[in-house]
Amino acid sequence: MTFLQSPKKEALACLYGNYKAALKSQCWQVNRLLDRPASVLNHHAHNEGVRTDLLGVLAGFLRLLEKINTTVLALGRGLGWIALLLMVLIILAQVFFRYVLNNALPWPEEAARALMIWMMALVAPSAYRWGGFVSIDMFPEALPRRLRSILIICLLILSMTVLIVMLSHAWTHFSSPILFNSSGLNRLVQDSGLNQALGTNLEFRTSYIYLAMSVCLALMISVGIELIIRAFGRLIGDDENFATPELPLSMKAN
């Protein structure tokens, strides 16, 4: 009887040992599976923290740039209105002198062109900031939000590249020594008695008119940087923290 029970005990012990080993192996695998989500969660939490920090830096820099652009563009729009008013008054004065007094002045046409160029240069950056230029947005609007944001960023970077190249050429043209004096506007300076009153010998050069393009492109580059930061912030964040500034009252349609 003892001889028969001994193999049974050995078999039971063997089965128990195998069961214990299998259970231990299963527990180790379960523990490993339980530990893996924790590491994944820690990694995700780390990435989320980096993303939050990046969004905070972008939002802070964007707010600073927005304040600078808002102030400068408001000044530019104010000067643009003054240039427009002066242009209208000069043209009306030339009409009076030409057709009423039959004695046309030599400088109003050139002065009106210069004022028109500077007016355009001072208000164009505001139009760029608030989407005042003509655009075809049917294709972007048909895309999903993420793809639309990526497309907008690519287009803004392309525009920024073009603006930088144009600014380089504009500044080279402004700095060119071959630019001559403006005969019409120099006549205005002489007729106004400004040099006699100040005891100076001021001369009006055409480069002063061409400087408008450098100013315009520099302001548009600043606006472009703002637009790129806002588009990138919306891509990785939300629209609320990267909202477009309110449209100025002077630019709102009646």
Asked whether the predicted pLDDT for residue 41 surpasses 50, the reply is no
HSE on the CB side for 136, CA within 13 Å? 1
Confirm if 149 and 174 have CB atoms less than 8 A apart.
no
Map residue 49 onto helix, strand or coil: helix
* Euclidean distance between CA atoms 209 and 183, whole angstroms: 13
Q: Does residue 1 belong to any structural domain of this protein?
A: no
Higher per-residue pLDDT: 110 or 162:
162
pLDDT digits (tens, 9 = 90+) for 155-164: 999 999 999 9
Q: Does residue 3 belong to any structural domain of this protein?
A: no
Q: Does residue 72 belong to any structural domain of this protein?
A: yes
Task: For residue 210, give its domain range.
Answer: 8-251
Q: Which amino acid is it at 156?
A: L
Output the six-digit token pair for 197. 């009153």
- Token pair 């972007």 is at which residue? 140
Higher per-residue pLDDT: 198 or 98:
98
Please enumerate in sequence order all residues whose Cβ is within 8 A of that of 130, keeping only pairs 6 or more positions apart, or say none. Answer: 244, 245, 247, 251
Q: Into how many domains does the chain fold?
A: 1
Q: How confident is the model at residue 213 (pLDDT cuts 50, 70, 90)?
A: very high
Output the six-digit token pair for 203. 């001369």
